[in-house]
Chains A and B, each alone.
Chain A
Amino acid sequence: MTDIAARHSSHRRWRFGDPLFKYLTFFFAMMVLAILSAIVITLTVDAWPALETFGLPFIWTASWNPVTEQFGALVPLVGTIETAVIAIVIGVPFSFGVAFFLTEMCPHWLRQPIAVAVELLAAVPSIIYGIWGLFVLVPLFQHYVEPAMIATLGNIPILGHLFQGPPIGIGVFLAGIILALMILPFITSVMREVFAAVPAVLRESAYGLGATRWEVVWRVVLPYSRVGVVGAIMLGLGRALGETMAVTFVIGNAHRLSLSLLAPGTTISAALANEFTEADGDLYTASLIALGLVLFVLTFVVLAIGKRMLLRTTGKGGIA
């Protein structure tokens, strides 16, 4: 009897356990939203002096002069987009190739080790890509790859302008290559996921009709998972836009617009990494924070679009 009574009272004592725990978890979940809002608000407030002084033309002004305090985002913005586009142009075919290999051709026992190895590539810290790029890829590009590109691609009319100038290794092109390498594992793993979501019946019927492996992937799997693949690419793009350290090592940090992809340039994140601690003057600091705000908005939009597209295909959000 007393036992039951004791248990009863213990229940009563813990009546508040449930709501307490629930609201505790709720509170921490809201913290995720709070962090994002705080980032947006803080950056806007701290960038305000620059936004007020330069207004919207900040985005397409090319000058970046700490002495006369004339600041514009154009050069780093162009560099950011340039490197990210190079990364996508080179990274996506490779990601597709690796995903194709892993889903369609790889012997079963090899699948897991290779998939893990590719994913380890994503785990390598970006500073390691930077130091490796600077000491290994830069000399390689300077002596072999870029002279060859200038000799061949540089002669193409119009497009050739992108590949002219002295081969110095350091520059926008190499930064794009390293970014391609860095986003490859992400795009590959999301591609594998959306490829796996294609119903086996579709694949089997295509094979049954006599389609080759490539035809099955190109004409059946890819069209079926189109939206997801574009989502994967957008996620990769979002990462490429914001990547900092690897780019800072190899891009050359030159605030200069150049037609050639082989010339040094800068990106928003590289400019922040290089200049922020040395910026004196409120307007200089505010302009750098405004750059950060531009980058944040850009990546947010790209990532949000990518995420939406992926949600549509894999239907993740319920039980995945």
Chain B
Amino acid sequence: MTTPQAPTANQMQLDKKIQTRRAHIRKRHRFDYAMTIISYLMTAAVLATLAAILVTLFYNGIQAIKPSLFLESTPAPGSQGGLANAIYGSLVMTSIAVAIAAPVGIMAGTFLAEYARKSKLAEIVRFINDVLLSAPSIIIGLFVYAVVVLSMGHFSAWAGIAALAIIAVPIIVRTTEDMLTLVPDSLREAGAALGAPRWKVITAISYRAAFQGILTGVLLAIARVSGETAPLLFTALNNQFWSTDLNAPMANLPVVIFQFAMSPYEDWRSLAWGGALLITTTVLALNIVARLSAKGKRA
């Protein structure tokens, strides 16, 4: 189309400008591409790690899952046994701890969401609660040791329950408050317009509307508490034998796993893997159920 002719100096300059601009754009896109790939790889690596953890647990733990695991108590090194006493201990301590923590947490969450709302006091409680939520759990164990174990004079399941309850409370407070704030005020106003007193509005309307969400919080608390090890180390301690006495040290899965995994005995390690598989599947299943019920609520 164009007849070949000597480009003017001006045009040459323009061409050069366009070329450098194009190179610059190419460079930017290459960089974007590289970053995209890196971010893909990072995500893949994270997901692969989760898969690797689960695969290792199943691979090592599945051979320990047999009836004796649930029927026999923890053995002495070199003999046969199961984790029955530890499973029982974990179940009992987790359920009592959450049974204590749930009312406390729900009530405190109610105060934040229904009464205090944006007040200064609510802000402080909320803040402290969030700090407690991520506070090191071993500190909670230390605290309960100082308060309960020292005053009782011995380790006990009750001390373990106290530690677990303190860990569960902030989780329940947080979810209860979040879920109650999702309940629209028009519902509360409708209730009030019908002449219901405030407490009745809360219990009959807010709670009912937020029920599934609050339940999610409780489930998450159970999941979190059932895997906690550090706070039990110096509260419930451990017990090699079958014991239902809450005033005595009580076996529990996490501490048994800790002790058995660190031991040099092959059969203890195998039981530790079995226990680890048991705890992880329980905790992950609880989390998934909690998430599903929360999702159903929001949709």
B70 at interface by CB-CB < 8 Å: no
CB pair A43 B276 closer than 8 Å: no
A17 to B204, CA, bound (A): 14
- Smallest beta-carbon distance B232→chain A, Å: 10
Supposing A114-B43, A132-B57 touch, asked if A296 and B262 sit within 8 A by C-beta, the answer is: no
Supposing A124-B283, A181-B49, A317-B126 touch, asked if A29 and B107 sit within 8 A by C-beta, the answer is: yes
Most chain A CB within a 10 A radius of its CB, from B46, B110, B173, B226: B46
A304 at interface by CB-CB < 8 Å: yes
Cβ-defined partner of B134 (8 Å) among A21, A45, A238: A238
A241 to B136, CA, bound (A): 8
CB pair B136 A307 closer than 8 Å: no
B124 at interface by CB-CB < 8 Å: yes
CB pair B128 A33 closer than 8 Å: yes
Among listed B78-86, B195-203, B210-218, interface-contacting one: B195-203
A239 to B134, CA, bound (A): 6
- Residue of chain A at shortest CB distance from B136: A242
- Smallest beta-carbon distance A117→chain B, Å: 6
Interface contacts beyond A123-B224, A127-B227: sample of 5 additional A-B pairs, CB < 8 Å, sorted by A: A29-B107, A36-B131, A36-B132, A105-B40, A242-B135
Cβ-defined partner of B108 (8 Å) among A31, A39, A129, A292: A31
A300 to B136, CA, bound (A): 9
B115 — which chain A residues lie within 8 A by C-beta?
22, 25-26
CB pair B36 A105 closer than 8 Å: yes
CB pair A300 B138 closer than 8 Å: no
A300 to B146, CA, bound (A): 20
A41 to B69, CA, bound (A): 43
- Residue of chain B at shortest CB distance from A34: B128
- Smallest beta-carbon distance B178→chain A, Å: 7
A249 — which chain B residues lie within 8 A by C-beta?
261-262
- Smallest beta-carbon distance B19→chain A, Å: 18
CB pair A128 B111 closer than 8 Å: no
Supposing A33-B124, A94-B45 touch, asked if A121 and B50 sit within 8 A by C-beta, the answer is: yes
Chain B contact-residue range equals: 35 or more
Most chain A CB within a 10 A radius of its CB, from B42, B142, B199, B273: B142
Cβ-defined partner of A125 (8 Å) among B56, B108, B227: B227
A45 — which chain B residues lie within 8 A by C-beta?
146
A184 — which chain B residues lie within 8 A by C-beta?
46
- Smallest beta-carbon distance A132→chain B, Å: 5
A196 at interface by CB-CB < 8 Å: no
A243 to B199, CA, bound (A): 40
- Residue of chain B at shortest CB distance from A14: B197
A20 at interface by CB-CB < 8 Å: yes
Q: Convert A285-320 into 0s and 1s, putting 1 for each residue whose CB lies closer than 8 angstroms to a CB of B.
A: 000010010011001100110010000000001111
CB pair A242 B137 closer than 8 Å: yes
A212 at interface by CB-CB < 8 Å: yes
- Residue of chain A at shortest CB distance from B254: A127
B221 — which chain A residues lie within 8 A by C-beta?
none
A121 to B54, CA, bound (A): 10
A68 — which chain B residues lie within 8 A by C-beta?
none
Cβ-defined partner of A212 (8 Å) among B32, B112, B147, B178: B32
- Smallest beta-carbon distance B81→chain A, Å: 19
A148 at interface by CB-CB < 8 Å: no
B111 — which chain A residues lie within 8 A by C-beta?
22, 25-26, 28-29
A318 to B182, CA, bound (A): 11
A38 to B287, CA, bound (A): 31
B118 — which chain A residues lie within 8 A by C-beta?
317-318
A249 to B257, CA, bound (A): 11
- Smallest beta-carbon distance B125→chain A, Å: 5
A83 at interface by CB-CB < 8 Å: no
Cβ-defined partner of A272 (8 Å) among B138, B146, B276, B287: B138
B244 at interface by CB-CB < 8 Å: no
A235 at interface by CB-CB < 8 Å: yes
Supposing A33-B128, A269-B230 touch, asked if A100 and B53 sit within 8 A by C-beta, the answer is: no
A1 at interface by CB-CB < 8 Å: no
Q: Convert B109-125 into 0s and 1s, putting 1 for each residue whose CB lies closer than 8 angstroms to a CB of A.
A: 01110111010000111
B41 — which chain A residues lie within 8 A by C-beta?
97
A64 at interface by CB-CB < 8 Å: no
A42 at interface by CB-CB < 8 Å: yes
B291 at interface by CB-CB < 8 Å: yes
